[in-house]
Structure 1
Amino acid sequence: MIRVLIFDLGDTLVRGESLFPYAHEALEVISRFETGGGDPLDLCLVSDFDMPAPPSTPQKVESIFAKYISMLDGLGLKGFFEPVDRRVTLSAHAGVFKPDRRIFEKALERLGNNARLNECLFITENKEHITACRKLGLTALRFNPAGPEEGDFQDWSEAPLLIAQAIAPDSFFDMQLALKLRLSTAYEMDLVTIERDSTKDHILGRAKVWHPVTVATAGRSESVLVPIPVNVEIEMDKKGRIRSVESDKPDPEALAESAHFIKSLREHDQIASEQSEPTPSQTHQEVTDKKGRKRLKRKRFTAL
């Protein structure tokens, strides 16, 4: 059973001074995962970063660690690995570089977790480190943004699904969290729930799809995306990847009802523009997505 998830940082979660797309969102999901035993999954970072010039002293190590934590804070990742004195281990702490066994053992020691190496999952972009870690007994997943041929995943929005399958394949809690992220980024669906009669490779559920609705107001027609409830069927492979997603076609009556609802909201000035904060009487706001399309988002249920 996997009890500890270990991340590499450079070229895995970040490249240069920037996070890879969806890395932050993936960590938000993964940080809520439970192990197969129902305990919170322990997360930690193991990084080479820098090694003090000999002779190594506690002061030199602390100086290197402080610089690393400052960098981690600037990336917006520090919160996922607090307390950092437990959850962040550098090569300077162990006196060796990855993939030496001792750096992973030092990480478990600092974490205060009595897990064995074969109860750990390590994620890195380094192919040689993947091979070496598997020989040490760790489970390992390789991130490769260039393509899936040489790695296990190339998009961080997909990673939680693979991790969920590795740590607790029977956990609907972990699976639902992971699916919610992947469906929203790759399929423009907001997962609502997973049905209990789902299996690991065939998942039934309810979701909302963002569908265009044309609304005529003030003598002009305009299209806006609104969430419409649908049934979904998701086929998974053994590693946790999505093979296919099928959904109902949106109900025409639901689309017509949405159009009338939006028209009423506009007539009563209950939709705020993207450039302004909603007033107490405005319950919705139009926002522009990454593709330049307008989406209607609910801000509150009733006018204040």
Structure 2
Amino acid sequence: MEPERHAADESSIGLLGISGNGQPVRVSELRASFAVAGEQTYVAGKYHTAPIKIAKAFPVDGQLAVIVMDVSPGLLSGDRYELDWTCEADAHVMLTNQSYMKVHPSMPGCGSSMRQTFELAENAVVENMPEPIMLFKNASFANETIVRLRPGAIWMQADVLCPGRTLRGERFDYMGYRNSLSVYYGEELLFAQRQRIEPRLQRLEDAGCMGEMTHLATFYLFSDRVTSAHLELLRHTLDEFSVGELSVGHTVIAGVSRTHRHGIAVTAASTAAWPLQRLMREVWHACRDGLLGKSPLRFMQTE
């Protein structure tokens, strides 16, 4: 296997900018590219600025597992994370992070944000399975994801959104959450999703909105390899799902549908994060088996 080649591997202080209302904005960057030598994916280059970095990258089951570390307490007011992932042809990467993404209270007019871009060459595979997002009281967070696919590439991602630290009495006490996902196949825009939650302006508990549910989860799969058989596979997975003993007392509702082209979307809601994490894991495992012919990753088997 070819050893790692680091385009840059030095940590530095994030760039300091100014928001529209004069508040400071701190930009932290993480850029990484992946390639294949023989049959093994490796890190071809990486660059980061504090407080985010790649903590570890290691081969597992014929792919490269990458763990992202945030050495700060979480996203503070004015923080912006920019992560760019590039996969060359046939590269196969699984991304995750060490713990929940914690979003702390924001100053008025100066929230925190994250932008991720994924560039996948022919037959590249990215499985992005981060830990849940935790929005603290008075947090304001904007999350943007842009995906660009070439023929044969596969991108999948699971997200779980928490309404606050519920054991401390926080429940939809954050200021706002904006989420966007744009997926391109070549130059064609395949999918565009926009979500905006402002608990103090919306009646989230009403029927047709959140109702009694508090936590949200989504799973997306995009590839020109997706067929109706994969949709039926995920429908069966949802029908057979059981929350298990750890989640007794929590209800999970979920649905799955195909997108306009080359994609499948799963949406779910519950009253806690761990039932949704369990569901997202089972959906992910079903996709690995049905689309890649691969078993669950061994190091991700613990609850």
Q: TM-score, normalised by structure 1?
A: 0.26
When Rg is computed on C-alpha atoms for both structures, the one with the higher figure is 1
Higher helix share: 1
Q: TM-score, normalised by structure 2?
A: 0.26
Higher strand share: 2
